[in-house]
Amino acid sequence: MWYVNQRRELLHTIKIRKVAYLGHVLRHERYELLQLIMMGKVAGRRGVGRRKKSWLRNIREWTGIASAAELFRLAKDRQEFTKLTANLR
C-alpha cells in the first residue's frame, strides 16, 4: 500500500513540474527556438502504426485541453496557467 501511494505522489509531482515547465518555456523569449519546435509541424509522411505518446500530448490529456494552440494561448497568462497547474488530476 505504501508503494502505491508513493508512486501516485511521484506521478502527481511529475505532472505539476512538466506543466509548470511548459508554461515557463512558452512565456520566456529566450526559448524562442524551442517554442517554434513545439508549435511546428514536421514535413513528410507519418510512419505506420500507433503514434508514441508525446510530451505535449501528455500535458494536453492531464489538463483536459484538446488543442495545443489553446494550451499555448493559456500559458501566456501566468495566473491562469498557475490555476490550471494547481487543479491537475
The dihedral of CA 16, 18, 23, 25: what is its sign?
A: positive
Nearest of 39, 23, 22, 12 to residue 79 by alpha carbon: 23
The mean pLDDT of 14-23, rounded to a whole number, is 91
pLDDT at 54 over 80: yes
pLDDT at 13 over 70: yes
- Compute how many other C-beta atoms are within 10 angstroms of the C-beta atom of residue 45: 6
| pTM of the predicted model as reported, rounded to 2 decimal places | 0.74
- Hey, what's the cell of 65? 485541453
Q: Give the model confidence (pLDDT) of 56-81 as tens digits.
A: 888 888 888 888 888 888 888 889 88
Domain ranges for the chain: 54-89
Residue linked to cell 509531482: 13
* Contacts of residue 49, Cβ cutoff 8 Å, sequence gap at least 6: none
Q: Which residue has the higher pLDDT, 56 or 42?
A: 56
pLDDT at 42 over 80: no
